[in-house]
Amino acid sequence: MKKILITGAAGFLGSHLSDRFIKEEYHVIGMDNLLTGSMDNLAHLMSHPNFDFYHHDVTKFVHIPGQLDYILHFASPASPIDYLKMPIQTLKVGSLGTHNLLGLAKAKNARMLIASTSEVYGDPLIHPQNEEYWGNVNPVGPRGVYDEAKRFMEAMTMAYHTFHGVETRIVRIFNTYGPRMRVNDGRALPAFFHQAIKGDDITVFGDGLQTRSFCFVSDLIEGIYRLLHSDYAQPVNIGNPNEITILQAAKEVIAITNSTSKIIHLELPKDDPKVRQPDISRAKEILDWEPKVSREDGLVKTLAYFKSVIT
């Protein structure tokens, strides 16, 4: 049985990845310091014979006994509300944590995939964004702690790949949504669902004409699974190229929840990207992957989840 370590396992994406690899009959070791993750996301796996959980901070030395075949590094605060509140931890998990895990991958001869992000492109000057674009990031702005942590992750990962011959993969994740997102994580769709279900005003930053491209979580997990098992070491965008404005997203949430909420506008945060849309040509060609779940279906499934957790 193949053994895989998933860091950030109690988070939104980490828990879905844990489910997928259990389903594929891997032995899964979930690791999380629970800074932003929740054990509720893993409760259904805790009694599974092929799942172990380690409560551990990857910025400290990481030890896994015995065989280890794969590592998925998904530990990190991932929403603006988190990394603005925890800037040092965000930088440390991207730097020290990545270094520790690459050292473990080297020692175990394991393949390691890191969770990078579309934020490496910053406020992009090309549209849509492809993997050849180097980005437009403000390293000393409030978002720099997350953007530069992820850019450093990529650089460190490629250094271990080229210098030490470690098998590595890099996924650049675009906006993803679905069940197990934290209600209060500060990102657009959870905020809109929370406000709409409660009947509160929907808060849209700026004029709402900034764009995002929302990918349902099951599509993202499939892309990551394929990338891990591919032979491709350069970064790959995984996301849904169906681009909409934030204002349109707010209106869709109001419609699907049958809410009476009104939209209000607040000041746009500093360095907030004006556009975000993945070019997924590389994923199509190399992984034979593209998203399958329509936004309408994805929003229905996400609404069911938020209704179950919002009281």
pLDDT digits (tens, 9 = 90+) for 53-105: 999 999 999 999 999 999 999 999 999 899 999 999 999 999 999 999 999 99
DSSP bridge partners of 173:
117, 238
Query: Does residue 241 have a cis peptide bond before it, meaning omega lies within 30 degrees of 0?
Result: no
Q: What is the reported pLDDT for 194?
A: 96
Q: What is the reported pLDDT for 122?
A: 95
pTM comes to: 0.97
Range list of H helices, the chain: 12-23, 80-85, 87-92, 98-108, 144-164, 188-198, 217-228, 246-257, 281-287, 295-309
Q: What is the reported pLDDT for 271?
A: 83
CATH 3.40.718.10 is held by the domain 188-211+243-276+294-309: no
- Looking at the chain, the domain(s) classified CATH 3.90.25.10 span 188-211+243-276+294-309
Q: What is the reported pLDDT for 283?
A: 98
Question: What tokens appear for 193 in the block?
Answer: 């669902």
Active-site positions? 146
Give the residue ranges of the chain where pLDDT is below 50. none
CATH topology of domain 3-177+215-241+280-287: Rossmann fold (3.40.50)
DSSP code of residue 131: T
How far is Cα 191 from Cα 196, in angstroms, rounded to an integer? 8
Contact (Cβ atoms closer than 8 angstroms) between residue 238 and residue 280 = yes
Q: What is the reported pLDDT for 71?
A: 99
Q: What is the reported pLDDT for 68?
A: 98
- The conformational region for residue 102 under phi > 0 = left, psi -120 to 50 = alpha, else beta, is alpha
- Looking at the chain, the domain(s) classified CATH 3.40.50.720 span 3-177+215-241+280-287
